[in-house]
Amino acid sequence: MHSLGLKCNEFTFPSVLKACSVEKELFLGKQIHGVVVVTGFDCDVFVANTLVVMYAKCGELVESRMLFEEIPERNVVSWNALFSCYTQNDFFSEAMCMFRDMIGRGVRPDEYSLSNILNACTGLGDIVEGKKIHGYLVKLGYDYDPFSSNALVDMYAKGGDLKDAIRAFGGIVVPDIVSWNAIIAGCVLHQCQTQAIDMLNQMRRSGIWPNMFTLSSALKACAALELPELGKVLHSLLIKKDIILDSFVSVGLIDMYCKCDLTKDARLIYDLMPGKDLIALNAMISGYSQNEADGACLDLFSQTFTQGIGFDQTTLLAILNSAAGLQAANVCKQVHALSVKSGFLCDTFVINSLVDSYGKCIQLDDAARIFDECPTPDLPSFTSLITAYALLGQGEEAMKLYLKLQDMDLKPDSFVCSSLLNACANLSAYEQGKQIHAHVLKFGFTTDVFAGNSLVNMYAKCGSVEDASCAFHEVPKKGIVSWSAMIGGLAQHGHAKQALHLFDEMLKDGVSPNHITLVSVLYACNHAGLVAEAKKYFETMKDSFRIEPTQEHYACMIDVLGRAGKLDDAIELVNKMPFEANASVWGALLGAARIHKNVEVGKHAAEMLFNLEPEKSGTHVLLANIYASVGLWADVAKVRRFMKTSRVKKEPGMSWIEVKDSIYTFIVGDRSHQRSDEIYGKLEELGHLMAKAGYVPMIDIDLHDVERKQKEILLSYHSEKLAVAFGLIATPPGAPIRVKKNLRICLDCHTTFKFICKIVSREIIIRDINRFHHFKDGFCSCGDYW
């Protein structure tokens, strides 16, 4: 037309400029702009408006704004042209400013103006401004416009008010596919997945078929609700509509199948994708990691690493999570190196994940180094390292790190407090545990289930079953962890009947036990000699609770029978086990043989343990005790010689006591403490008082080949006796003394503390490797049955 010499008019230019906008032909658009200027049509408002849009859509927003400012008589279309382009290019604040300027100049907005500005409000997440625009719609009579109505639904849904979104949706006379997509996506966004599925069904009944966007939202709802059957129905609809190969929807399918624990179906979708990208890879790898298919996760990353798909932060986080699950320290190191090389070590999430993974792979030095190298450690990085220290028995390091966290004015969360409480539990650090409890109260975590369960566990393991019971009753929603912690605590403290009563209360509350709960129930029966009750629970656990007995349950039951003197029944149960007995089972039998001085059974159990745990010294010691109890001193000497030649070292007895936020450690005959003279003086004083009360040292339990007097001295200076003596001189009169020991308390110490607690009028609480002993008024809570 141009080459024929025909002149363009005010209708030609807008059409060809619109074509330039669609095709992003900026160079040609500028040429036409020149023709417009030459021919004098740049003063025409319709041509000028189209020029504004063309420049904006070609990414030249500055030129677009300049042209807009040059329009002599701007109408609503002129304003719409510019702020719609601002909105489409995510310049939402600028669009809002333009709209306010337009209103200030007295230009009346139309439905196109208002729907665009609603989109800007949605982009800003500004529901307050959105409600003002809604007011304009009603005032100007545009509230029935379908574009504006759909924009309203979208704005309310994404702005945080689903009720108003549903109300706006209800006002649409005939909702179209855009309306339905907006409300379904809004329901999913607000975690109202069931409502999203209901909306999808209503849409189908209204005669409108879902499109790619509808099904994508519905797949997210299926993933959250774990509805694989409905997900498969949606999958079939996708196939029917020939949009299965769309990358966006394929990733949605992978995510849905993974979250429904159908990783094989997810992998099939992934393998069928023609052009796999990083988003699809991350969905598949994250799915494997979340479903604990850690080996498959690492294998897939290894396969794709050389294919050029690449990786990002999400990929590395999933790989590190799986490496932690497999305790694959070498993989952690490789990902660490990859993070350094690719620059992701500057990412806080990657740093925290590395700390967490190294900790779970028992590489605490590496975890601490990553943490120390972090320029600005945040709460998650502190949490990861504190948790690692607590899990691996380094409670003191966990507490030190917590002090550092407080120095940085970081507010702890409930996970930090839970980890610290677990660390205190392992240390038997009662006073420090009470301080963390104070922080739980201070920061408002009293309603947090994790913190509540950890409090129950901490108090129970620190020897205060009363405090544990109070904490238990304050847990708002008691789950199986809460009940199991309290039942286990009561069992460890010798309160068997209370433990069984609480178990019955749990069942009445509608909570089903797990295998840990039943171990605690059998443990309670074991340490109270409740053989009939133990048999009932053990024999009915499969039928009543659908729990197959494990090695732990068999070990508990064998211990119950053995302690009660039913060694033949215990041996018969070992022979009937559906699997090979492990060390805990043979250990239970060996312990029973020691109690009842049965050399034959003890020797057989010890031989089995020598095969399973040849390096463990406890087996040799128990066997020697059995020989000594029946006067077979030659066999005792033989065991000791074998230990010496085999270089099996007896684990030294150690005891710990907490005094004024510090933990003191003692070993037998220890004189390293700065108050040793006072400690030994106190023991000598107590010795005289006990002798007057009728105490006689039980020298028969000492296996050393020395004179009687020397045996008495050795017995007097056991580590727990030193710890108790220190507690008596270092704590206020009348305060309970809490001691932890790494081995089983010996018979002489057990007898000694029954005398001491009565002499000094104090409660003495000893936590040995098996249970708690509460000594008070000359008696022990175990009833001498341990």
Q: What is the pLDDT of residues 492-535, one digit of tens each?
A: 898 999 999 999 999 999 999 999 999 999 999 988 889 999 99
Helix, strand, coil fractions of the chain, as percent rounded to 5: 70, 5, 25
669 and 746 both lie in a single domain: yes
What's residue 473's pLDDT? 92
Identify the band that residue 237 occupies on the pLDDT scale cut at 50, 70 and 90.
Answer: confident
Which residue is associated with the tokens 């007898």?
751
Give yes or no: residues 639 and 586 share one domain. yes
- Are 462 and 422 contacting, i.e. CB atoms less than 8 angstroms apart? no
Domain-terminating residue out of 601, 636, 651:
651
pLDDT for residue 764? 96
Q: What CATH number did the domain enclosing 592 receive?
A: 1.25.40
- Could you tell me what percent of the chain has a pLDDT over 70? 97
- Express each pLDDT in 15-30 by its tens digit: 999 999 889 899 999 9
- In a domain, residue 95? The reply is no
- Indicate the Cα dihedral angle 536, 539, 541, 547, nearest 10°: 160
- In the prediction, which pLDDT does 510 show? 92
Question: Where does the pLDDT of residue 80 fall: very low under 50, low under 70, confident under 90, or very high at 90 and above?
Answer: confident
635 with 723, same domain: the answer is: no
Domain boundary among 601, 619, 651: 651
645 with 684, same domain: the answer is no
Q: Are residues 751 and 686 in the same domain?
A: yes
Same domain for 645 and 667: no
> 105 lies in a domain?
no
pLDDT higher than threshold 90 for residue 569 = yes
| pLDDT at residue 709, rounded to an integer | 61
Q: Is 52 helix (H, G, I), strand (E, B) or coil?
A: helix
Same-domain check for residues 641 and 696: no
**Domain final position from 625, 651, 677:** 651
Q: What is the domain extent for residue 776?
A: 656-780
Q: Given CA atoms 100, 106, 111, 113 in this order, what sign does their dihedral have?
A: negative
Whether the per-residue pLDDT at 429 is higher than 90: the answer is no
**Unique residue bearing structure tokens 């129970």:** 460
Q: What's the confidence (pLDDT) of residue 549? A: 93
SS3 string, 518-542, reads HHHHHHHHHCCCCHHHHHHHHHHHH
Residues 612 and 720 in one domain: no
Which among 784, 772, 785 has a CA at the least distance from the CA of 738? Answer: 772
Whether 230 is covered by a domain: the verdict is no
Give domain status of residue 481, yes or no: no
667 lies in the same domain as 583: no
pLDDT at residue 366 in the model: 94
Asked if residue 582 belongs to a domain, the reply is yes
370 lies in some domain: no
Distance CA 547, CA 550 (A): 9
Q: What is the pLDDT of residue 663?
A: 86
Do 590 and 675 share a domain, yes or no? Answer: no
pLDDT at residue number 391: 85
Whether the pLDDT of residue 5 is over 60: the answer is yes
Residue 244 pLDDT exceeds 60: no
If asked whether residues 638 and 665 sit together in one domain, one would say no
Which pLDDT score is estimated for 710? 59
- For residue 640, pLDDT over 60 is answered with yes
What is the mean pLDDT of the segment spanning 738-766? 93
For residue 454, the model assigns a pLDDT of 94
Please state the rounded mean pLDDT for residues 599-625: 88
pLDDT, mean of residues 550-571? 92
Tell me how far CA of residue 706 lies from CA of 624, 699, 710, 715, in angstroms: 16, 11, 6, 12
C-alpha closest to that of 310 among 287, 347, 359, 343? 343
> pLDDT-derived band of residue 420, with 50, 70 and 90 as boundaries?
very high
Higher pLDDT, 785 or 277: 277
Token pair belonging to 409: 């004015």
| pLDDT score, position 779 | 93
Q: Is residue 245 predicted with pLDDT exceeding 70?
A: no
**Overall domain count for the chain:** 2
372 lies in some domain? no
pLDDT surpassing 80 at residue 618: yes
Q: How confident is the model at residue 596 (pLDDT cuts 50, 70, 90)?
A: confident
**Same domain (yes/no): 685, 729:** yes
Residue 253 reports pLDDT greater than 70: yes
What per-residue confidence (pLDDT) applies to 727? 95
Instruction: Supply the pTM of this predicted model.
Output: 0.72
Instruction: Give the C-alpha distances (Å, rounded to integers) separating 509 from 409, 479, 496, 518, 541.
Output: 42, 10, 20, 16, 18
In a domain? residue 527 = no
Give mean pLDDT, residues 708-734: 85
Distances (CA, A) of 622 to 69, 247, 555, 651, 762: 96, 66, 17, 12, 32
